[in-house]
Chain A
Amino acid sequence: TQLLEQSPQFLSIQEGENLTVYCNSSSVFSSLQWYRQEPGEGPVLLVTVVTGGEVKKLKRLTFQFGDARKDSSLHITAAQPGDTGLYLCAGVSGGYQKVTFGIGTKLQVIP
């Protein structure tokens, strides 16, 4: 069974602070995705990283895929209240590209 561990599970910070959340596994994935889910909504795909060591930027969000393709991090610069939500990482593997989700990091950005 492939498991994805996310840390921290809960994070409450002030607007303007920086933060990093982590997604770790003992398994190798062909790609890794990050989703954000707001209360009462379904998850929305933010990014897919494919190559070991890859770094992708989405405005104030920076995503990195580990060299061994087993882990990933999400760094948010100058967090804003609109960043509040549940951040889910998901590893893709297998011939059918099976997607395995982590439990998520619940982020609250206080104005």
Chain B
Amino acid sequence: ETGVTQTPRHLVMGMTNKKSLKCEQHLGHNAMYWYKQSAKKPLELMFVYSLEERVENNSVPSRFSPECPNSSHLFLHLHTLQPEDSALYLCASSQAYRGINTGELFFGEGSRLTVL
């Protein structure tokens, strides 16, 4: 496996379900991100982890809960979602040198989420 891999690629869930999205990066990077991509909107940054510590949380509803157990893995736990949460969820990683992040992101293929 190379790059950034996300599973599942597609997920359909009801509003009362609990599910998780998984991301794994094989690039040796030390920062990982969750982005949300909706139609006709720019990519929205949800969470940033640097060295397994959450450094940014962009006012994301609590029904989204991130988890970063180590620098290679990132999860997004989903609970009691709304239909408007249907979107493509993208994981990305990057490398920070001495605290300065180059900003160059390496994305996974995304998890297409549909909430019924």
Considering only CB atoms, which chain B residue lies closest to A4 in the complex?
B42
Q: Does B40 have its Cβ within 8 Å of any Cβ on chain A? A: yes
Q: Does B113 have its Cβ within 8 Å of any Cβ on chain A? A: no
Interface size of A by CB at 8 A reads 24
Q: Does the CB pair A42–B90 fall under 8 Å? A: yes
Cross-chain pair count, CB within 8 angstroms: 59
Task: State the CA gap A40–B107 with chains docked (Å).
Answer: 12
Q: Does the CB pair B109–A40 fall under 8 Å? A: yes
* 12 other A-B residue contacts (CB within 8 Å) besides A43-B105, A96-B50, A97-B100: A4-B42, A35-B107, A40-B109, A42-B107, A42-B108, A42-B110, A45-B106, A48-B103, A90-B103, A92-B103, A97-B103, A98-B45
Q: Does the CB pair A33–B103 fall under 8 Å? A: yes
Residues of chain A at the chain B interface (Cβ within 8 Å)? 4, 30-31, 33, 35, 40-45, 48, 88, 90, 92, 96-104
Mind listing 29 A-B residue pairs with CB under 8 Å?
A4-B42, A33-B104, A33-B105, A35-B105, A40-B109, A41-B110, A42-B4, A42-B90, A42-B92, A45-B104, A45-B105, A45-B106, A48-B104, A88-B43, A92-B103, A96-B50, A96-B56, A96-B101, A97-B96, A97-B100, A97-B103, A98-B45, A98-B103, A99-B45, A99-B105, A100-B42, A101-B42, A102-B42, A104-B42
Residue numbers in B under 8 Å from A104 (CB-CB): 42
Residue numbers in B under 8 Å from A30 (CB-CB): 103
The number of chain B residues touching the other chain, given as a range, is: 20 to 34
Q: Does B98 have its Cβ within 8 Å of any Cβ on chain A? A: no
Secondary structure dominating the interface of A: strand
Task: State the CA gap A42–B40 with chains docked (Å).
Answer: 16
Shortest C-beta distance, A3 to chain B (Å), equals 8
Residue numbers in A under 8 Å from B90 (CB-CB): 42-43
